[in-house]
Structure 1
Amino acid sequence: MEIPKYLQILWNSKWLLLIGILVAATAGFFAGFKIEGGEVVPRAEQTYNSSTTVMISSQTQPLYQAVIPGQPLVEGQTQPTDVDLTSKAIIYAYLVSGADMRSSVEDAVGQLDDTEALTALRRTTQPGGDEAFPGRYSLPIIEVVGTSTIPDRAEAIATTATDSFLTQVVADQDEQQIPPTDRVVLTVINTTPPKAVEGSNPMIPVVVAFLGVFFLFVAAAFIIAGAKSSRAKKKAAKGDEPEATVTEDSDTADDEAPEELVTRTRRAKRSDSEATVDEDSEEREPAPVG
């Protein structure tokens, strides 16, 4: 079985590729890590998200009630109308993500740095869905999300923001003297522990840098092999030129040989004819008189 040409090139360049592996490993290490205070520290900071899911409901729209019973009509008064809680969910998400709620959270957990964040969003997918790819549902459910490079702090941001928002809602309802039967009810239905955010893994730049540098050495191996092959072909072409010259000379000699032969033949014929003429003239001379 014949070995493919590219494998032969790689095998012949094994020492170059070995050096490439060492250089690529070094480049990958320094791309993903740095040394601070004698310790190896990742350059890319791993971030974590922790979330708290809050359901929005009301006493007039019980979650497990299938039929709303009829109510007596009062003359001169309109029938009560239920508010669309799904549209309220977006407003509540903006309130949680606002500056007032951020200040309240910072008073409890400390100042949030550039790597930390507090946000909220209305859920549009099933419980296992990812809101990075929104679904088609409009749910009266919001998700409060805390982000930090420290897992426990991410969880603290999310839970503190949720508690602060629930407390603020009740305080505003009391201040506005909203009857208990007409109030919005916020219920925490789930708390997600901190999870690492995809794309912040410190090994990603290591792998990218390693593969990039190693492929450069592989490309260099093929370039060098191509250059060597080109030089070898040129040398072979130069070595064939003298043989071609000798062949041309011999062909020229062969072409000239018949002409020389014809010339020699003509000269020989001339010599023979001249000799014959001399003999005839001698025979024709008269004999001397005595």
Structure 2
Amino acid sequence: MEIPVYLRVLWYYRLAVVGAAVFAVVVALVAHFDLKDGSLQYRGDREYSAAVTVLLGGGPASAFAAATPVVEREQGVTAAQTEDLSATAAVYAYLVSGEGVRSQVADREGPLGERESIGAVRRTSQPSRTEENPGRMSLPVLTIIGTSLDPARAVDLSRTAASVFLDEVAQQQDADGIPADARVTLTVTDEGDAVPGPLGTVALPIGATGVAAFALAILAIFAMHGLRLKRRGAAATVPRPADAAGVEDFAALEDEVAAALEHAR
């Protein structure tokens, strides 16, 4: 099987191809990143998210008790049923993501932009993991998340949403007349800082810049090779010194023949 010409050309200029790859990486980094405080920071728009973690509790069950205390009840009186707080956390996640909380946050922090959002999720994994890859646990833990292109605003959105929701739950419990010992308690366990989103959302323009720079460098290699071939072809058509001497001898011979014919007349 014959190797294509362009592959042979690239193999001949393999060092230049390696240089083209390095050039493409450098161009992509320079075009999309800035060097700040000794680290590369993406220059374009990047989403940031901040999370507030809320623990659900209340009732006879306690996260710090090894067993639920025995409660004596009168005969004929049905025992109170304990709610599954992990399921309650899932319901609360929908409430936080709803229009009611979102509108109150907008009143305090200003209207939400196109790439800003407020949401919540019930935790299913350890604190060090994210819910992008959910775990198998059902925890009575709610994470309220604010997202924005501005890290400071992402923090404000998450904390304001948590405050609004906690107030809303307390008001609803008061309105329903729920006794204190039967209420769901909400305890904020952590208020996280803004975390940059994954580069997957910005990898396309970075990759496109690198590919374009690499393609231009490869085209330059082919252009250089073509110019080299033209120069080699032009050099092959120039008469050598020996050929030039032969031409001069032939011209002298023509002069001698012409002179002989003139003398014969």
Runs (4+) of structure 1 exceeding 6 A deviation are 225-231
Match of 1:52 in 2: 52
Match of 1:216 in 2: 215
Instruction: Give unmatched runs, 5+ long, in structure 1.
Output: 34-41, 232-290
Task: Provide the rounded CA distance (Å) in 2 between the counterparts of 1:112 and 1:71.
Answer: 49
Match of 1:164 in 2: 164
Match of 1:179 in 2: 179
- Is residue 54–residue 189 contact of structure 1 (8 Å, CA) maintained in 2? yes
- Is residue 47–residue 200 contact of structure 1 (8 Å, CA) maintained in 2? no
Match of 2:130 in 1: 130
- Is residue 58–residue 182 contact of structure 2 (8 Å, CA) maintained in 1? yes
- The 3-state SS of whatever aligns with 2:199 is coil
TM-score by length of 2: 0.69
Larger radius of gyration: 1
Task: Provide the rounded CA distance (Å) in 2 between the counterparts of 1:137 and 1:76.
Answer: 36
Task: Provide the rounded CA distance (Å) in 1 between the counterparts of 2:80 and 2:217.
Answer: 76
Over residues 184-225 of structure 1, what are the superposed CA-to-partner deviations in whole Å (9 max), with x where a residue is unaligned? 0110001110111122787x5664244212321354366568
**Letter paired with 1:45:** D
Q: 1:81-92 alignment to 2 at 5 Å?
A: 81-92=81-92
Over residues 159-188 of structure 1, what are the superposed CA-to-partner deviations in whole Å (9 max), with x where a residue is unaligned? 111011111111111111111111101100
Shift in alpha-carbon separation, 1:28–1:209, aligned structure 2, 3 A? farther
Over residues 127-185 of structure 1, what are the superposed CA-to-partner deviations in whole Å (9 max), with x where a residue is unaligned? 10011111111111010000111111111110111011111111111111111111101
Q: C-alpha displacement at 1:69, in angstroms? A: 2.2
Match of 2:95 in 1: 95
Instruction: Give unmatched runs, 5+ long, in structure 2.
Output: 1-7, 34-41, 231-265
Task: Provide the rounded CA distance (Å) in 2 between the counterparts of 1:163 and 1:110.
Answer: 16
Task: Provide the rounded CA distance (Å) in 1 between the counterparts of 2:181 and 2:20.
Answer: 76
- The 3-state SS of whatever aligns with 2:193 is strand
Task: Provide the rounded CA distance (Å) in 2 between the counterparts of 1:230 and 1:5.
Answer: 12
Task: Provide the rounded CA distance (Å) in 2 between the counterparts of 1:11 and 1:126.
Answer: 48
Q: 1:35-50 alignment to 2 at 5 Å?
A: 44-50=44-50
- Is residue 28–residue 209 contact of structure 1 (8 Å, CA) maintained in 2? no
Shift in alpha-carbon separation, 1:200–1:13, aligned structure 2, 3 A? closer
**Letter paired with 2:162:** T
- The 3-state SS of whatever aligns with 1:193 is coil
Task: Provide the rounded CA distance (Å) in 2 between the counterparts of 1:107 and 1:200.
Answer: 32
**Letter paired with 2:13:** I
Q: 1:1-290 alignment to 2 at 5 Å?
A: 6=10, 8-10=12-14, 25=27, 32=32, 44-199=44-199, 204=203, 207-220=206-219
Q: C-alpha displacement at 1:70, in angstroms? A: 1.6
- Is residue 17–residue 218 contact of structure 2 (8 Å, CA) maintained in 1? no
Over residues 59-83 of structure 1, what are the superposed CA-to-partner deviations in whole Å (9 max), with x where a residue is unaligned? 3111111122222221221111111
- Is residue 10–residue 221 contact of structure 1 (8 Å, CA) maintained in 2? no
Task: Provide the rounded CA distance (Å) in 1 between the counterparts of 2:128 and 2:17.
Answer: 50
- Is residue 60–residue 69 contact of structure 2 (8 Å, CA) maintained in 1? no
Shift in alpha-carbon separation, 1:228–1:62, aligned structure 2, 3 A? same
Over residues 107-140 of structure 1, what are the superposed CA-to-partner deviations in whole Å (9 max), with x where a residue is unaligned? 1111111021101001111010011111111111
Task: Provide the rounded CA distance (Å) in 2 between the counterparts of 1:180 and 1:155.
Answer: 31
Task: Provide the rounded CA distance (Å) in 2 between the counterparts of 1:51 and 1:200.
Answer: 20
Task: Provide the rounded CA distance (Å) in 2 between the counterparts of 1:165 and 1:88.
Answer: 14
Query: Please, what is the CA RMSD of the aligned residues?
Result: 3.7
